[in-house]
Amino acid sequence: MFNERKEDPNKIHINHEIRALELRVMGPDGENFGILSKRDAIAKAEELGLDLIEVSAKAIPPVAKITDYGKFTYELKKKQREIKVHSHVTETKVAQVKIGTGERDKELKAERIQKWLLDGHRVKVDLFLWGRYKYMEQSFLNERLQRFLDLVLVPYKVAESVKKSPKGLSCTLERDKSKPAPTIEELQALKEKRVVDVKKEKSDKKKKQEDSINTI
């Protein structure tokens, strides 16, 4: 005799996965649509271009919310992460970047730092110096380190200021809790804005060079 597979109690039921035939339905902005049949509730969600998500299966009748599934799961994970932040010991993670590191690699490192900051960790950032770079002016090296830090979009504050280290230069960051943690949509919007700003900066620089040549 086969054992029945137990369903994951943390599974999120959406749309036709919901078993209840009647639901108390909340709208995306907190509206109370009252008690609807599952069919009518799903139809309402489809009308709004959203999903019907069961948020309280044990209520009588169960409660469901019409919202975007991706946004709902992101907010849920953010809440779980915040709970985790308050329940575990903060670690100091380490990220290393070199002068000459490719833009894509720097973006990936910055995204990893963002995740660590959102998880409540401190992050030590090392600007690794080798050869002739060890003897370059401090202002130049500070500018290169800051240029990398500008890629980190999660609000942070410098817990330990820039100083020399055995590997080169280093500083330690921690999330600025006086500012709200950005949503995934806000991070994406900031990333897109940065791309536009960089393109504009390059275009302006090129135009300035061309104008300088034409005036000679």
- Which structural domain range is residue 32 located in? 15-68
Spatial contact of 145 and 74, defined as CB atoms under 8 Å apart: no
Sequence-distant (≥ 6) Cβ neighbours of residue 84 within 8 angstroms: 119, 120
Note whether residue 191 is domain-resident: no
**65 - beta bridge partners?**
26, 53
Are residues 64 and 113 both part of a single domain? no
| Other CB atoms within 10 A of residue 71 CB | 15
Residues 133-180 pLDDT 10s: 888 888 899 999 999 999 999 999 999 999 988 889 999 999 999 998
- Total number of domains in the chain: 2
| CATH code of the domain containing 104 | 3.30.110.10
Are residues 58 and 120 both part of a single domain? no
Note whether residue 216 is domain-resident: no
Note whether residue 213 is domain-resident: no
Residues 7-62 pLDDT 10s: 666 788 999 999 999 999 999 988 999 999 999 999 999 999 999 999 999 999 99
| CATH code of the domain containing 28 | 3.10.20.80
What phi, psi does 215 have (nearest 5°)?
Answer: -90, -5
